[in-house]
Structure 1
Amino acid sequence: MASSSFSPTAPPVFNGEGDHIWVVKMKTYLQAFDLWEVVNSDVEPAPLKANPTMAQISQHANERTKRHKAVSCIQNCVSDVIFTRIMAYETPKQAWDRLNEEFQGTKRTRQQQLLNLRRDFENLKMKEEETVKQYSDRIMTVVNSIRLLGEQFNEVRIVEKVISTLPDRYEAKISSLEDSRDLTNISLMELINALYAQEQRRASRLEEHKKGAFQAKTKTGSNSSTYKDKKTWRDKPKSDAPRRRDHHVGITKSLVIQKLIAGLDHMCSANTAKRWAMLKRFAKAKANQEKPTKRWLIDSGCTNHMTPDTTVFKSIDKSFKTKVKVRNCHFIKAEGKGDVLISTPTGNKLVSNVLLVLEIDRNLLNIAQLLEKGYTVVFKDKECQISDPCGSKLMTVAMTDKSFVVD
């Protein structure tokens, strides 16, 4: 009975802001009423056969009614201003696609947004004044934005990012976790909680230290005021023997402190070595998963054809030096410029003015540079078609993992 009376709350009325979150909530809402397939496929119900039964007539009427129900749901979950933009559409798919195109942009726009968010993720670094939870919140804000655009982002990659960008004060804890756990299998929540516990213990020790120092200072001040202007046997002249004894005690304390510092330095060095070894294992595992490739990514965000691989050049001028602007107004060095032969279905094609940029991790073909040379680039039906200046089709590249890669 509970399940039959379930009625999900409608998503908030969409006013043009937070479109990615509204789309997820709206999709779940339509699925709860078994209406999402109608929106997604937009297929007309099959016509009734001759001499249908009452059950078939009822089912056919229900299937036809679903389309109107889906349109009603979409119209009632948008503001009046946005309703006027979709009121002319008769099918739910037409209305849904119109909203997606206007507020989420075309596929090309979403790909550019994904590229920018990936760069933001790679540039994230923990600040000295941040807590580990504040840092993890910043990371998850970027990751969730990437996921809302339809990109798969596994937790192992997030854990690796946190570990590799922590300040030095977490070295001891990371080394301890490495000895007791397999960090390639630890969850993000476990890692954050372990690091947060260490922060709490450190804050507690600092508080106790400050409190003890304050009490000692207060007690000293009280004693000095109590015995002020009183002459006791301590005021009498003292011999040099206690001074010599204090001198020896001071030397002994100094030696003890030096040994403690040397021991801490040794421990920090050992922890640093352990952390480097752990990061090398991460890098090795990642390198095994992402082997070097000779493939070229068709990109609209880069400013020039670029490659980090010197072996792909047919000719190169390494005396050519320049800087390439990337995200956040940063610049990276280009160490040369030359010509590259790219294999296409119609034969090898010479691409000129390709920059050698060692700091990137893949080969990039710039769409704007192709257009300047007279090439035609068309994105259609999950394919990228490139034609040469004469109009002959040069290649057709199918979309793979939401990217267009020339093998």
Structure 2
Amino acid sequence: MDDQEVSTNKIPRLIGEENFIRWKVLFEVAVNYNNPELWNSIKDGQYIPSLAAKNSATIESKMNKRDDKALLMLKLGLSWEILTSVNHHKTSKEMYDAVIDMFEGNTELRDIKKDRLKQQLDRFKFKEGERLKSVLQRFMTIVNEIRTTDLQISDFELNKKLLSSLSGEWYIASKFIKEKVDFPNFK
């Protein structure tokens, strides 16, 4: 997905696992920006009006048309390989949930991913001879993955981990930063 392809008028395309997280965010933004009701249909499913409501048949027809349009937008955002795997779903919510499960897994797999990310963060440390830029890139890769989950780690904890992971040559700088920003109880 080139940056030029991403706009509120174009639907981002999911090609595979390598662009899933980006697609998930940009797809929601594009659909929600253009028609929040379509996004609601994808995310929450079709609204079923009360039978007692006046013109419930008219309302249900509008809801079905909205979901049909949301389903078409979703199909346009998927590569052929992915679409053929989920095309049997009849509502936009079912299809979207199937795509999410395909790339994020079920609840158990998501928990395993969170545990793996937590372990990566816990074991994160400076590698001998590594440049600061490389350390920061590796650290931000882990942080960005954590932020795609519901794993809650405070910015304070992340900053603390990064500063304590730096090499000895950064000791004075990290100590100054800790004191300057008043890291409470930091040792």
TM-score range, shorter chain: 0.7 to 0.9
Q: 2:46: which partner in 1?
A: 43
**Higher percent of residues as helix:** 2
Once the two structures are superposed, the pairs formed by residues 204-243 of structure 1 within 5 Å of their partners are none
Secondary structure of the equivalent of 2:186? helix
The aligned amino acid for 1:36 is: W
- Conserved 8 A contact 1:38-1:67: yes
The whole-number CA distance in structure 2 between the counterparts of 1:14 and 1:175 is 44
Q: Larger RCO: Structure 1 or Structure 2 (Cα < 8 Å, ≥ 6 residues apart)? A: 2
Once the two structures are superposed, the pairs formed by residues 149-298 of structure 1 within 5 Å of their partners are 149-179=149-179, 181-184=180-183, 281-282=185-186
Closer/same/farther in 2, CA of residues 151 and 28 from structure 1, 3 Å limit = farther
The aligned amino acid for 1:141 is: T
The aligned amino acid for 1:89 is: H
TM-score between the two structures when normalised by the length of structure 1: 0.39
Closer/same/farther in 2, CA of residues 27 and 135 from structure 1, 3 Å limit = same
The aligned amino acid for 2:169 is: R
The whole-number CA distance in structure 2 between the counterparts of 1:169 and 1:62 is 65
The whole-number CA distance in structure 2 between the counterparts of 1:178 and 1:118 is 23
Unaligned runs of 5+ in 1: 1-5, 185-277, 284-407
The whole-number CA distance in structure 2 between the counterparts of 1:144 and 1:80 is 28
Which is greater in Rg?
Answer: 1
- Number of matched pairs: 175
The aligned amino acid for 1:9 is: K
Residue 38 (structure 1) shift:
0.8
What are the superposed Cα offsets for residues 253-300 of structure 1, whole Å, 9 maximum, x if unpaired?
A: xxxxxxxxxxxxxxxxxxxxxxxxx8xx226xxxxxxxxxxxxxxxxx
Closer/same/farther in 2, CA of residues 60 and 174 from structure 1, 3 Å limit = same
Once the two structures are superposed, the pairs formed by residues 296-375 of structure 1 within 5 Å of their partners are none
The whole-number CA distance in structure 1 between the counterparts of 2:181 and 2:75 is 51
Q: 2:107: which partner in 1?
A: 107
Unaligned runs of 5+ in 2: 1-6
The whole-number CA distance in structure 2 between the counterparts of 1:178 and 1:77 is 45
Q: 1:25: which partner in 2?
A: 26
Closer/same/farther in 2, CA of residues 165 and 45 from structure 1, 3 Å limit = same
Residue 123 (structure 1) shift:
0.7
Residue 132 (structure 1) shift:
2.0
Secondary structure of the equivalent of 2:143? helix
The whole-number CA distance in structure 1 between the counterparts of 2:175 and 2:94 is 55
The whole-number CA distance in structure 1 between the counterparts of 2:64 and 2:135 is 50
Residue 145 (structure 1) shift:
1.2
Closer/same/farther in 2, CA of residues 93 and 172 from structure 1, 3 Å limit = same
Q: 1:145: which partner in 2?
A: 145
**Higher percent of residues as strand:** 1
Residue 61 (structure 1) shift:
5.5
The whole-number CA distance in structure 2 between the counterparts of 1:14 and 1:176 is 45
The aligned amino acid for 1:282 is: F
Q: 2:3: which partner in 1?
A: none
The aligned amino acid for 1:49 is: K
What are the superposed Cα offsets for residues 199-220 of structure 1, whole Å, 9 maximum, x if unpaired?
A: xxxxxxxxxxxxxxxxxxxxxx
- Conserved 8 A contact 1:114-1:149: yes
**Alignment RMSD (CA, Å):** 2.5
The whole-number CA distance in structure 1 between the counterparts of 2:139 and 2:100 is 26
The whole-number CA distance in structure 2 between the counterparts of 1:72 and 1:149 is 27
Closer/same/farther in 2, CA of residues 174 and 127 from structure 1, 3 Å limit = same
The aligned amino acid for 2:54 is: K
The whole-number CA distance in structure 2 between the counterparts of 1:133 and 1:165 is 13
The whole-number CA distance in structure 2 between the counterparts of 1:17 and 1:173 is 38
What are the superposed Cα offsets for residues 108-167 of structure 1, whole Å, 9 maximum, x if unpaired?
A: 011111111111111111123222222111111011112213323332111101111222
